[in-house]
Amino acid sequence: MALSKSSLKGKIVTELKAQGFTTEGEHAYAAKMAEAIANAVIDEITSNGQVVVSGGSSSGTYKVS
């Protein structure tokens, strides 16, 4: 499964709405904050994430992409 900034943003916005945040309107910045968080999380995972496979013919450490 590929990582998606837009999918993560949507999930964050949904959770913020559930907690009572206003995510739409002229002065609502929760959706912008959600986008910034999603971008940072996905960038961090794809830059530094590693998966360790401990057994089998594919054992080793692999970069997350």
Provide the pLDDT for residue 29.
93
pLDDT tens string 11-39: 999 999 999 999 999 899 999 999 999 99
Quick one: which of 17, 14, 18, 64 has its CA closest to 41? 64
Provide the pLDDT for residue 39.
97
Across the range 36-56, mean pLDDT stands at: 94
Q: 1 or 65, which is more confident?
A: 65
Q: What stretch of H or E contains 3?
A: none
DSSP, residue by residue, 10-62: HHHHHHHHHTT---SSTT--HHHHHHHHHHHHHHHHHHH-EEEE-SSTT-EEE
